[in-house]
Amino acid sequence: MEMNWLAILVAALVPTIVGFIWYNPKVLGNAWMQAADMTEEKIKGGNMPVIFGLSFVLSVMLAIAMNSWAIHQMNVPGIFYGDESPETAAFLQNFMTQYGSNFRTFSHGAVHGLLAGLFIGLPILATNAMFERKSFKYIAINGGYWIVTLTLMGSVICGWI
């Protein structure tokens, strides 16, 4: 099964789009700035083209990983790694014909994204934040952002057939 690169690229835009909304001063931006000990001067001091460019590259990497987590069929060929026999090729072809579109919905992808946010994103972010002596508010704002973002990324990837 090949990756749908258009879905990957669209999903990679999700963190930026959600971030523009989530961290907007009218939403959670001011609370985040306070919790992150961020100032306007610090924000203006960053090289924004580099920050956004690298963020997009990292988002593509995350979307590729989400593709494997949300679409079960992506992992089936790995069971037969190294087996190049015609029987295996025929089995995989038949399997994909019969089951290739199972569980390929926006809602199924959302569940996988939600679980990734809760059980991968949040624990990583919270662990770092605790050692950095950040507040619960900081963890809640950033953790919530990644939970929502990964839920939407999973939806795009899994629902884009």
Q: Is residue 103 part of a domain?
A: yes
Cα 159 to chain centroid, rounded: 14
* Of 38, 52, 35, the residue nearest 137 (C-alpha): 35
Q: Is residue 60 part of a domain?
A: yes
Query: pLDDT, tens digit, for every residue of 9-42?
Result: 999 999 999 999 999 999 999 999 999 999 999 9
Our count of domains for the chain comes to 1
Query: CA 32, CA 44: separation in Å to the nearest integer?
Result: 16
SS3 38: coil
Q: Whole domain around residue 136: which residue ranges?
A: 15-72+86-159
Q: Is residue 81 part of a domain?
A: no
Q: Is residue 8 part of a domain?
A: no
pLDDT at residue 137, rounded to an integer: 98
Residue corresponding to tokens 């199972």: 102
pTM, full prediction: 0.91
Assess contact for 1 and 96: CB atoms under 8 A: yes
pLDDT at residue 30, rounded to an integer: 97
Q: Is residue 122 part of a domain?
A: yes
